[in-house]
Structure 1
Amino acid sequence: MQKYWGVILALVFIISCKEEKVPEVKKNFNKITPIKDPIVTHFGFNWGEFNVQLDTLKYGDSFGELMLQHKVDYPKIYKVSEEFKDTFDVRKIRVGKPYVILKSKDTTEKAEVFIYENDAINYTVVDFRDSVTAYRGRKKVRYVEREASGVIESSLSEAILEQGIDYNVTNSLSEIYAWTIDFFRLQKGDKFKVIYKEKFINDTVYAGAEPIEAAYFEHNGRPIYAFAYENDSLKNIIDYFDDEANNLRRTFLRAPVKFSRISSRYNLKRRIRYYGYKLRPHKGTDYAAPIGTPILATADGTVTESTRRGGNGKYVKIRHNGTYSTQYLHMKNRKVKKGEFVRQGDVIGWIGMTGNTGGPHVCYRFWKNGRQVDPLKEELPLAEPLPEPLRPDYFAHINPKKDQLDCIVYPEKIEEEDLLTLNEDNGAK
């Protein structure tokens, strides 16, 4: 036994000696090792290799003039404008867009690379070194899933902003439910929940919100789910369906403008004091909005009239099929011409005050089988439903999202008395 203990002690001694042995460090206080500057790369280029100029396009700027000012040869500029139109159309650069010019570090400071930022994420590079090349790039983007909810006190936009949610989510929600919810008649206590992704460039710079993946809206006590779904048989178009696979779209939008208000409803028994209370039926629905607000086609169709006439002012009329037609009155300007085919949601003109009108609005008129009717009381036809063969895949896709929506809690409302108490407590501290 003593023999083994001796071996063990010997090993411990050897190991401990190895640990305690410190290599000799040669000290030279006169020698200074320079610290190299970190390599800074943007858009795939080492900025340390260039003189960098960052700017934004101003009124009157053109790609050709900018490059000539920075000593790029005209043949190269011409080559970009003629041979790379699909990648970079020099005629479509816009005032206010940021750009970067990477210039040579010699005395000429000649532009070697031009980078145009199409938006916060996408950019286009024109490389003048050697032979001219142009290509598109995309910044590194991180996607973060976010859940949000709210209770309507006054308006949808206020409820969303109170939660610190991107304002574009308001627009997305209104578009998803545009056919099923009358946003001009939201009730106090209506609720919503959403699941979507936020984008961040280089992990820190916020770059907006992605389309909503799933939503829940409770309007007048009626719950309506919405789930984004894309399938090859739907021609790669993302559409929104409810929890029973019903399409949320209708063939008609509820209103021809976004975020407006109804100033006068369809009323066949209307009497106006100015006209001595004589019966003057109003066969349209007026949507008040600032002058210049876009007016949208509420459904696909062909423009049958685009003109100006009497009290109607400038207007557009669209035939959607053998049953339905719509008309949009009092426009400031019209964007479409007779015979033109338009899609649902296309801008066909702008709010104005032409014709007989006391304020800026669009009078929206709706025909069914040649007779004017109230569109807000019509049971508008549904869009094409989800085909039966796709439903098993659809339900498998939405079930986890539905469970996730159901688990989202609404923000607690702080009553005025509670807020006063909270402020008093904070003051005492």
Structure 2
Amino acid sequence: MKNYIYILTFLSTIGNFQSCSTPSTEKEEIVIIDTVEVEIDSSAYIYAINVDSMTVEQNVVKRNQSLADILTASNVEYKEIFKLANNAKPVFDVRRLKVGKDYTLLFTNDSISKLNYFIYQEDPINYVVFDLIDSCNVYRGEKPVEIVKKEVASDIQLSLYQSLIDLDESPALVNELADVFAWQIDFFHIQKGDAFKVVFYEKEVDGTVVGIDHIEAALFTHQGKDYYAFDYNYNGKKEYFDEFGNSLRKEFLKAPLHFSRISSSFSRKRFHPVQKRYKAHLGTDYAAPIGTPIHSVGDGEIVAAQYSKYNGNYVKVRHNSVYTTQYLHMSKIKKGIRRGVKIKQGDIIGYVGKTGLATGAHLCYRFWKNGKQVDPRRQEIPSSDPLPDSVVQEYQEIIMPIKLELDKVDLITSN
């Protein structure tokens, strides 16, 4: 790709350039003579700065290392560091340099080797530039992001995560797929032989994948049943629908946690590990690290948020006159979660722990229907409203070529 820069040839009444610490107070009179289009080498640019005549050093922030530590090691005076920190306040808190984050130093390529720029990379896309040339200016920038369309398909032998990793795909795609099918698929009960196909758009920076832009369409085959999902914007709201225009969103999520394993399925009889006797286990246990966020499976009102000897820290949610859910053994209840508080589906209500009668870190999830405790995985949960009939025909015309593309994606069979 060719890049061009427009160079202005001009005359100026003042010829000397001012440093960071000594900003000019005089006015320059500039007279433009001509404009020339020049092809440039984009490889000579880093963070939109021409580094052709500079020395580039790259490093990572070390433990207990501050901005002052980095800059003083590059012979920057304290008065300039103070000015940079002060100028940065509206843009970036210099006290928030994080261990392991990348930074770049740009020096003059001469015997003096003076530092011109310090660039802190907040994440793969966003960065902060500390300009020591232009009056200690501090500003934010973003690396160009390329959106790349991809297709992937595979059967599952061990887990969805492992299948995607084996295909050299980003783990972020696992999260996106789980979010799309959060109401249809119990990802804690994926079976060998389940399969998926996905058409999606990936974010790339400098040729490296940095995230998933969105999933356009997906097909997940679980326990012999096909589940389709198509991205569709209805009334200004992005949502996923099946091939018939039914919303994938339901009244309850399939599970209150993301990506853990179920350690004890719902059972009327289970050997209790603490009480050393067989008793009904009217709940589903999810083994997960302490501190893992717990999400309410549906909209509702908090009817209990407290501690008890056996349940430990727990939260109980009444969703409507039919359904109630309960979440036990939390390490802590989220701040603000108390009796009478209204919550939305997916809201965090607490964190996994092992309080009360528990041998290890896990969540015990309980589900009531009409006052009777039942297995949530066996319940037929109501769906959200489908697309209106007046829209369905247009919707199906839009998704038809996408569905054909999805169906044609070759399924890779794992060894």
Please indicate the TM-score interval, normalised by the length of the shorter structure: 0.7 to 0.9
Question: Structure 1, residues 257-314: CA drift from partner, whole Å, max 9, x if none?
Answer: 2232333333445576986867x33222111234443322323445444332101112
Distance in 2, Cα, partners of 1:185 & 1:395: 31
Question: Structure 1, residues 372-421: CA drift from partner, whole Å, max 9, x if none?
Answer: 3332222223234335554454333322210101111222566xxxxxxx
Q: Given the alignment of the two structures, is residue 225 of structure 1 paired with residue 228 of structure 2, yes or no?
A: yes
Aligned equivalent of 1:353: 354
The alpha-carbon distance between structure 1 residues 240 and 288, as it changes in their structure 2 partners (threshold 3 A), is: same
Structural mapping, 1:291-310, within 5 Å: 291-310=290-309
User: In structure 2, which of residues 41, 61, 86 is the aligned counterpart of residue 78 of structure 1?
Assistant: 86
Structure 2 residue runs without a partner (length 5+): 1-40
Aligned equivalent of 1:401: 402
> What is the DSSP-based 3-state SS (H/G/I as helix, E as strand, rest coil) of the residue aligned with 1:243?
coil
The alpha-carbon distance between structure 1 residues 223 and 97, as it changes in their structure 2 partners (threshold 3 A), is: same
Distance in 2, Cα, partners of 1:49 & 1:304: 66
Maintained 8 Å contact 1:311/1:355: yes
Distance in 1, Cα, partners of 2:413 & 2:81: 64
Aligned equivalent of 2:325: 326
Q: AA paired with 2:288?
A: A
Structure 1 residue runs without a partner (length 5+): 1-36, 415-429
Aligned equivalent of 1:96: 100
When Rg is computed on C-alpha atoms for both structures, the one with the higher figure is: 1
Maintained 8 Å contact 1:305/1:338: no
> What is the DSSP-based 3-state SS (H/G/I as helix, E as strand, rest coil) of the residue aligned with 1:149?
strand
Distance in 2, Cα, partners of 1:118 & 1:322: 47
Give the CA deviation at 1:98.
0.9
Maintained 8 Å contact 1:215/1:225: yes
Give the CA deviation at 1:197.
2.7
> What is the DSSP-based 3-state SS (H/G/I as helix, E as strand, rest coil) of the residue aligned with 1:78?
helix
Structural mapping, 1:202-241, within 5 Å: 202=206, 204-231=207-234, 233-234=236-237, 238-241=238-241
> What is the DSSP-based 3-state SS (H/G/I as helix, E as strand, rest coil) of the residue aligned with 1:318?
strand
> What is the DSSP-based 3-state SS (H/G/I as helix, E as strand, rest coil) of the residue aligned with 2:281?
coil
Aligned equivalent of 1:166: 170
Aligned equivalent of 1:118: 122
Q: Return the structure number with greater strand share.
A: 2
Q: Given the alignment of the two structures, is residue 40 of structure 1 paired with residue 48 of structure 2, yes or no?
A: no
Aligned equivalent of 1:316: 315
Distance in 2, Cα, partners of 1:207 & 1:356: 42
Identity %: 40
Distance in 1, Cα, partners of 2:392 & 2:131: 49
Distance in 1, Cα, partners of 2:179 & 2:58: 37
Distance in 1, Cα, partners of 2:176 & 2:273: 41
> What is the DSSP-based 3-state SS (H/G/I as helix, E as strand, rest coil) of the residue aligned with 1:281?
strand
RCO higher in structure (CA 8 A, sep ≥6): 2
The alpha-carbon distance between structure 1 residues 413 and 155, as it changes in their structure 2 partners (threshold 3 A), is: closer
Distance in 2, Cα, partners of 1:67 & 1:206: 31
Distance in 2, Cα, partners of 1:404 & 1:324: 40
The alpha-carbon distance between structure 1 residues 54 and 160, as it changes in their structure 2 partners (threshold 3 A), is: closer
Aligned equivalent of 1:145: 149
The alpha-carbon distance between structure 1 residues 106 and 409, as it changes in their structure 2 partners (threshold 3 A), is: closer
The alpha-carbon distance between structure 1 residues 201 and 378, as it changes in their structure 2 partners (threshold 3 A), is: same
Q: AA paired with 2:398?
A: H
Q: TM-score, normalised by structure 1?
A: 0.75
Maintained 8 Å contact 2:326/2:365: yes
Q: Return the structure number with greater helix share.
A: 1
Q: AA paired with 1:75?
A: K
Question: Structure 1, residues 189-244: CA drift from partner, whole Å, max 9, x if none?
Answer: 22211112333333x3343443322111112221111112234532xxx3211111
Aligned equivalent of 1:264: 264
Question: Structure 1, residues 114-146: CA drift from partner, whole Å, max 9, x if none?
Answer: 322122222232334334544332223333322
RMSD of equivalent CA atoms: 3.2
